[in-house]
Amino acid sequence: MLLGEYEGIKAMRDTDTIGVPSPICIRVDSPPFFAVYSYLNLSFAGDEFEKGRRLALMHRCLSPNSMHGFHVPNTIGDTPQDNAWSRGWAEFYVERRFKAILSMCNNLGYNREEVEKCAGVIAEELTDHDPEPSLLHGDLWGGNSGYADGEPVIFDPATYYGDREADLAMTYLFGGYGEKFYEGYESEWPIEEGFERRKTIYNLYHISNHYLMFGGMYYNQARQMFESILNNAPKKKN
């Protein structure tokens, strides 16, 4: 967990696009385990347009090997994430995210055939979309961003290279981002057609993870998203 976060922070820091807590040192080979970062004098009010613009600039930073994944595994919350490299985004997302989290959630009560059917819809959508592998924060809910000395910052990542829309999708969960943030983002890199469908695909991962960690209402919400993906699959062309 410490190493995954540390390497993610380093990767984002090295883009020189948006603020992060600077990584100072880490020890994971023997106890006591720790990671040390620079202190951020945080506030949660600032220039949302600039935060969105700088996130888009970070997303412009692509995988050094043109593959989706990351060079170390990490965690989202306390849930393990397998980031083994994959050339195809559809393969990476279906296997390393969708199927992985559903397996931890006892498939949300669906049987194997239903899961495979949904996986097929997702794979077709993401294959047609075929995004470049952008550097992602990976856990970009509102509580993981803010401002330090007036500059936009992000922190507490679950970093990997993948579809930039996966980061954007999560900003719509739980609040924390306003209209100016999205205007700033699109001023640098406009969103592509079909994002609304893919937003549900990507956020199913996070809502399923919340069910895994917290239970309760997230179970029904995850199932509703699962059904929405199946019911809103694009019609196949003749």
Active site residues: 139
Rounded to the nearest 10 degrees, what angle do helices 164-171 and 195-214 cross at?
A: 70
The distance between the two most distant Cα atoms of the chain, rounded to a whole number of Å, is 61
Dihedral over Cα of 10, 16, 20, 24: its sign? positive
112-129 and 218-231 helices cross at what angle (nearest 10)? 60
Query: Which residues is 135 bridged to in the sheet?
Result: 161
Q: Tokens in use for 190?
A: 């406009």
DSSP string covering 42-57, please? Answer: EES-S-HHHHHHHHHH
Task: Calculate the alpha carbon distances from 185 to 51, 53, 131, 143, 200 in Å.
Answer: 8, 4, 17, 18, 20
Residue 145: both structure tokens together: 């961003």
Residues 137 and 148: their CA atoms lie apart, in Å, by 18
On whether the CB atoms of residues 203 and 173 are closer than 8 A, the answer is yes
Instruction: With beta carbons less than 8 A apart as the criterion, state whether 105 and 211 touch.
Output: yes
Instruction: Say which DSSP state 196 is in.
Output: H
